[in-house]
Amino acid sequence: MEKILDIEDFDDIVTDEDGEKWSQLCVGHAEQMENEGTKHFINSMGDGICGVNGCDVESEYYIDFQK
């Protein structure tokens, strides 16, 4: 079973002016997060490199971390 990912597993997190935190996800990590029933919002309009530690796959999703 894969480890459940949380904000501590990301090495590329952006904090907006209002304090909201987000990052990018590749397809594989987005599917993993959705399969885990994550409480975080995943949007399919991401780009860049996946923000998960050690992953260098092109991202297609954004993840908004809930407070």
Q: What is the pLDDT of residues 40-60, one digit of tens each?
A: 788 888 789 999 999 999 999
Q: What is the token pair recorded at 58?
A: 């092109």
Q: State the pTM of this model.
A: 0.82
Report DSSP letters for the chain, one per residue: -PPPP-GGGBS--EE-TTS-EEEEE-HHHHHHHHHTT-SSEEES---SB--BTT--SBP-EEEEEP-
pLDDT band, very low/low/confident/very high, at 2 (cuts 50, 70, 90): low
Domain boundaries, the chain: 11-65
